[in-house]
Amino acid sequence: MHAPHTTAEPVGLREQKKAATRQALIEVSQRLFATKGYAATTLEEICTEVGIRPQTLLRYFESKAHLATAPLAAVVADLERKVTEPERTADTIELWREHVAARTIFHQMHSPRAVRTYYRWLDADPVLLAMTAQLNHRTQTVLAAGLAHDHHVEPDDLHSTMLAALLVAGWNSIFLQWLESGGDADELGRRQDAVVDFAVSNLPRSSASDLGADLT
């Protein structure tokens, strides 16, 4: 007896198609945002190029703003996945260094002009600016939780919170300086690594403990 015939696609193939569609939406939207501007680009235009309906796009991304910030959100999600991995062997500082290195490599894959254009139209829209700030806050929260876990202390540990804030603020500061100066990605990588060294050496756990005692 033969099994009933079905036209349903294997789960693996469906997931591959979904991933390909998601990536196509990101790539097409980023190109249109860069050439036409974020405000002037419509979801209909993006969908036409990808070959799907707007209703389908909204199954992948909640809004045009979520689509615009998808590359940044993916980077943060990857860091969160690694930090919260139960069986991880690397400490959080090492994972942060890997995260920073990966972002530097990402910028090496694009022209400095393209990178500057991307961040400028992000900064020009209030909604996108707010979403970027939320992603920075999420990054800081993930880092703080990972650092606290490494030292077997409470999630709201003062040292972990302060060090995470310094690492994220330092990354943003160096990145913005690099973006405006038009330097190369190798220089960005060296300076970002130096920021991590500075933060770790200048904010040892004992100093935060002393500060916590002074505040109580």
pLDDT tens digit sequence for 94-104: 999 999 988 88
Say if residues 170 and 143 touch (Cβ distance below 8 Å). Answer: no
Please check the confidence at residue 206 and state whether its pLDDT lies above 60. yes
DSSP classification of residue 153:
-
pLDDT of residue 6: 38
- Which tops the pLDDT comparison, 183 or 58? 58
Mean pLDDT for all residues in the chain: 86
Residues 59 and 17 in one domain: yes
Q: Which of 45, 63, 81 is the last residue of a domain?
A: 63
133 and 40 share a domain? no
pTM of the model as a whole: 0.81
Last residue of a domain, one of 46, 63, 80: 63
Whether residue 2 lies inside any domain: the answer is no
Give the CATH number of the domain where residue 27 resides.
1.10.10.60
> Within this chain, do residues 56 and 21 fall inside the same structural domain, yes or no?
yes
Check which CATH number belongs to the domain holding 76 and give it: 1.10.357.10
* Token pair of 117 as six digits: 């254009």
Q: Specify the range with the lowest mean pLDDT, choosing from 17-31, 64-78, 128-142, 173-187.
A: 173-187
Whether residue 86 sits in one domain with residue 114: yes
31: containing domain: 7-63
Q: How many domains does the chain have?
A: 2
Q: Does the residue 104 lie in any domain?
A: yes
Closest by CA to 93, choosing from 143, 137, 136, is 143
Same domain, residue pair 145 and 129: yes
